[in-house]
């Protein structure tokens, strides 16, 4: 991959000297951004571009080429790629559109390109993209003219799908004086996808923070593994949240885990910060340019009372602690208060301190305070008059922030004449008001907690589904009844309330005798999905007579007689196969909690014991399990173990489209839990 971003020579195919030609813009960008290697333009009509010969055929170029860029009509790509393969080129960029994104009938073209690439071992970017920008070495390949003057080189790399988003990110970063390193517009992701770029950027020296804009996820598990093990922050903007995907309407589970909720859960599971707008992404980039916030202790300093109040509100909202400042700090501040009108609280309101140069020293001392992990400094200054001292303050914030390895979130509202000037005063981020500054600090703090508290758990390296899947003899596209499902559960040691299957009334009566009353009687016909509504379930049958009566009333041709489980909390465990992340597990309290209150937690399977515990804690209704208002304290150990086992089952049985355990009864501490009813759609 390195050659893609650091080629020593580049060929651009599709160049002419006509002014509207897009290919020539690529050559011009390379020139303008000072790419130092040789560039070979190729175009049918030949000619000359700014003194550079345009070759009429690829074959004419007699030099080693590290990277070839195509901007010719899609139908010509296969032939051209074949020639490049023959000539030994191994990295390509296809910027042309007109593949399957344009019309489904072009899918054959996609396949042809892939065949040729595979044959010659070529990896390529695109098609349908503005491809790659590497500001380190001037490899700037978009076919739109870019101006080096407006773009700053720095530690942030960004991968997006379309050119529009890459451009928007470029502008927003430049406006905020954020330095960029590498940018990728992936286009159709026919060969290389976000995970390939991500893997490269994680190992890339010049990249300290990574932003990903995704409209689809190519391989969710690899994304989780990569981002989850990266030693640099990865910020993900996943859009396209509104696609109605292959919903299987039969079970309600599906509706509970909309694809977008799976994305959010999966990313959170490995500590990736998900944002929903470009501006939120920029805010994350800003804060990740600073040392991380290593604890929850915030010093808030403000020049305006109103801003101090809003800072306190936001600090509370984001869970920061506002400790009291030390006596020596307060003594220091007090000496400069004009009328002594300072309340020595945190937030500290500096409204009465008019010596702006003195602010630097206050900031310095605040960072030195022991009980301070980061500082919010909300600044107000007079336009035109306090410009220099404010610039000094910004530079001091940068210096002290790095000196003490603590973040300083500086916010101010310059007027239009000074807005960008202040942003360029130093390589240091400016926020607008306490809310966005503290939200950013909370992102930094969450990231820090996550990397220091990370559990190694690669989701792609789990033992692969083996013969277990075959053993269980699960047929496809059908609902499995409790009999089959319970047998599968036995293999995974998922406890099921004692039951027996019965083919007729006689067997049912016999089964009840063996199990002991009270029992439940259920239809075992697998095509009755909602048994309760369909009159397929009778509960609390106390003796033979009652059972006889129940057998007369129940629908169905085969039966399941089950021991009644009393005295426990009913919970729900679900599973489904997500198209992007594979098997996921769901947990919630039974009945209305899941269905009307949507109080459900999702995780990508398999999960660890610890993750099982987090799932339980993540459901608000789980207060019930912990002995709410003198109620029964549930056997959480058993529940956690059960969640882990179900997650393994889901992982090892990829043919399971949906799984529904409803209810699992969790009994008192030490009493275990038991599945009462379950079904699987596979």
Which residue number, 310 or 675, has a Cβ lying nearer to a copy of itself? 310
In this structure, the number of other CB atoms found within 10 A of the CB of residue 385 comes to: 10
> Smallest Cα–Cα separation from 646: which of 580, 594, 577, 573?
573
Q: Which residues of 511-525 are buried (b: 16+ CB within 10 A; e: fewer)?
A: bbeebeebbbbbbbb
User: What sign does the CA torsion over 284, 288, 289, 294 have?
Assistant: positive
Name residues whose C-beta falls within 8 Å of residue 627's C-beta, 6 or more positions apart in sequence.
633, 634
Three-class HEC string of 248-279:
CCCCHHHHHCCHHHHHHHHHHHCCCEEECCHH
Q: Which residues of 536-549 are buried (b: 16+ CB within 10 A; e: fewer)?
A: bbbeebeeeebbee
Residues 26 and 3: their CA atoms lie apart, in Å, by 18
Cα 495 to the center of its chain, rounded Å:
34
CB of 622 vs a copy of itself, minimal distance in Å: 8
CB of 46 vs a copy of itself, minimal distance in Å: 25
Which residue number, 454 or 598, has a Cβ lying nearer to a copy of itself? 598
CB of 598 vs a copy of itself, minimal distance in Å: 8
Which residue number, 175 or 405, has a Cβ lying nearer to a copy of itself? 175
Residues 499 and 512: their CA atoms lie apart, in Å, by 9
CB of 11 vs a copy of itself, minimal distance in Å: 25
Cα 678 to the center of its chain, rounded Å:
31
SS3 label, residue 206? coil
CB of 612 vs a copy of itself, minimal distance in Å: 20
Cis peptide before 127 (omega within 30 of 0): yes
CB of 57 vs a copy of itself, minimal distance in Å: 26
CB of 298 vs a copy of itself, minimal distance in Å: 13
CB of 632 vs a copy of itself, minimal distance in Å: 13
SS3 label, residue 584? strand
Which residue number, 182 or 238, has a Cβ lying nearer to a copy of itself? 238
CB of 586 vs a copy of itself, minimal distance in Å: 18
Which residue number, 234 or 312, has a Cβ lying nearer to a copy of itself? 312
Q: Which residues lie across from 548 on neighbouring strands?
A: none
Which residue number, 393 or 644, has a Cβ lying nearer to a copy of itself? 393
CB of 128 vs a copy of itself, minimal distance in Å: 10
Residues 262 and 285: their CA atoms lie apart, in Å, by 25
SS3 label, residue 56? coil
């Amino acid at each position: 991959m390195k050659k893609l971003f650091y080629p020593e020579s580049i060929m651009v195919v599709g160049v002419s000297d006509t002014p509207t030609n897009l290919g020539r813009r690529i050559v011009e960008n390379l020139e303008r951004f000072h790419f130092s290697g040789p560039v070979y333009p190729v175009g049918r009509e030949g000619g000359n571009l700014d003194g550079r010969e345009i070759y009429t055929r690829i074959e004419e170029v007699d030099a080693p080429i590290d990277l070839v860029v195509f901007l010719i009509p899609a139908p010509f790509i296969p032939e051209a790629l074949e020639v490049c393969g023959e000539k030994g080129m191994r990295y390509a960029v296809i910027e042309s559109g007109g593949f399957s994104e344009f019309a489904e009938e072009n899918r054959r073209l996609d396949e042809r390109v892939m065949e040729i690439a595979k044959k010659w071992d070529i990896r390529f970017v695109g098609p349908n993209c503005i491809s790659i920008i590497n500001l380190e070495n001037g490899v700037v390949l978009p076919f739109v003219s870019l101006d080096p003057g407006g773009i700053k080189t720095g530690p942030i790399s960004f991968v997006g799908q379309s050119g529009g988003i890459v451009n928007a990110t470029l502008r927003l970063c430049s406006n905020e004086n954020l330095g960029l390193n590498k940018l990728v517009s992936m286009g159709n992701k026919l060969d290389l996808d976000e995970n390939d770029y991500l893997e490269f950027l994680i190992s890339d020296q010049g990249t300290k923070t990574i932003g990903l804009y995704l409209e689809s996820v190519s391989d969710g598990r690899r994304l989780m593994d990569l981002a989850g093990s990266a030693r640099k922050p990865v910020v993900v903007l996943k859009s396209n949240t509104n696609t109605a995907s292959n919903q299987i309407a039969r079970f309600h589970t599906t509706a509970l885990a909309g694809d977008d909720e799976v994305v959010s859960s999966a990313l959170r599971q490995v500590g990736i910060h998900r944002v929903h707008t470009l501006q939120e992404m920029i805010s994350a980039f800003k804060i990740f340019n600073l040392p991380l916030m290593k604890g929850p202790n915030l010093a808030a300093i403000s020049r305006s009372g109103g801003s101090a109040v809003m800072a306190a509100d936001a600090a509370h909202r984001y869970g920061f602690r506002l400790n009291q400042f030390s006596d020596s700090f307060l003594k220091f501040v007090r000496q400069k208060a004009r009328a002594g009108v300072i309340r020595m609280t945190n937030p500290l309101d500096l409204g009465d301190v008019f010596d702006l140069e003195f602010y630097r020293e206050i900031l310095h001392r605040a960072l030195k305070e022991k009980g301070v992990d980061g500082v919010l400094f909300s600044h107000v200054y007079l336009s035109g008059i306090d410009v220099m001292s404010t610039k000094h303050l910004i530079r001091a914030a940068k210096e002290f922030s790095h000196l003490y390895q603590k973040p300083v979130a500086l916010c101010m509202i310059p007027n239009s004449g000074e807005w960008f000037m202040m942003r360029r005063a130093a390589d240091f981020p400016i926020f607008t008001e306490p809310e966005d500054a503290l939200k950013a600090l909370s992102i930094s703090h969450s990231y820090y907690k996550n990397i220091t508290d990370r559990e190694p758990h690669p989701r792609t390296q789990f033992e692969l589904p083996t013969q277990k899947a075959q053993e269980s003899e699960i047929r496809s596209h059908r609902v499995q009844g409790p009999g089959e499902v319970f047998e599968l559960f036995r293999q995974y040691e998922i406890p099921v309330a004692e039951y027996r299957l019965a083919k007729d009334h006689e067997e049912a009566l016999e089964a009840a005798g063996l199990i002991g009353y009270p029992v439940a009687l259920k239809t075992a016909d697998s095509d009755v999905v909602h048994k309760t509504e369909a009159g397929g379930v009778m509960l609390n049958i106390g003796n033979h007579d009652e059972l006889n009566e129940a057998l007369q009333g129940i629908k169905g041709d085969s039966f399941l007689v089950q021991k009644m489980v009393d005295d426990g909390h009913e919970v729900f465990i679900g599973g489904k196969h997500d198209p992007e992340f594979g098997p996921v597990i769901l947990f919630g309290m039974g009945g209305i909690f899941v269905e009307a209150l949507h109080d459900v937690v999702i995780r990508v399977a398999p999960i660890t014991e610890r993750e099982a515990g987090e799932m339980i804690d993540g459901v608000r209704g789980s207060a019930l399990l912990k002995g709410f208002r003198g109620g029964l304290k549930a056997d959480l150990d058993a529940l956690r173990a059960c969640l882990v086992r179900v997650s393994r089952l889901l992982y090892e049985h990829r043919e399971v489209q949906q799984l529904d355990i409803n209810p699992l009864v969790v009994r008192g501490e030490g009493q275990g839990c038991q599945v009462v009813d379950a079904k699987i759609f596979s």
